[in-house]
Amino acid sequence: MERAPSLAESLFGRRAEPEVWQDREVRFDLGPAELQCRRGEEVLDYLDCVEDTKGNNGEPGELTFTNLRLMWVCTRSRRTSISVGLDCITQITVKPAASRLRGNVSALYLLTRHGTQRFEFIFTALEAGGGGPELLAVAQVRPRPRPQGRAW
């Protein structure tokens, strides 16, 4: 049995893009396809050697900041990852934290909400000289939340 074409396929002759979830959800342990930037998503900043101090203490990873989300991927196990949509972030600050790999350092604190669940993430730069300045720059790059009820 053949599938009927969708409205987008009928009008434009191609399959519709999957729904955008990247800016609206918090997801864990993503596959490689979900970690790829989707069409229109641009990488704004990238930090290597960043630790997820609260959830994966002692594990180095990569922190990628895009116009839709913030992604952390463990370098030892690529399956261990976090994707935080920018619309889920309620507060972002840089504060002191304790790292298993570096001791007391500056860390990026994210308070997030997805549906009824709340999450706190703490990211710490592991390289010497990193931490405060780079993480603060990432915090300042974050676009302002869009007004409620207004379509883009």
Strands 103-114 and 89-99: antiparallel
Domains of the chain, by residue range, sit at 20-141
For domain 20-141, say whether CATH 2.30.29.30 is its number.
yes
Q: Residue 81: left if φ>0, alpha if ψ -120 to 50, beta else—which one? A: beta
Residue 90 φ then ψ, to 5°: -100, -30
pTM for the structure as a whole: 0.75
Show pLDDT as tens, one digit a residue, over the chain (152 residues). 566 666 656 666 655 556 889 999 999 999 999 999 998 999 988 888 888 988 888 889 999 999 999 999 999 998 899 999 999 999 988 887 776 767 777 788 899 999 999 999 988 887 755 555 566 566 655 554 445 544 44
- C-alpha 82 chain-centroid distance: 6
Question: Residue 112 corresponds to which amino acid?
Answer: T
E strand or H helix that includes residue 65: strand 60-66
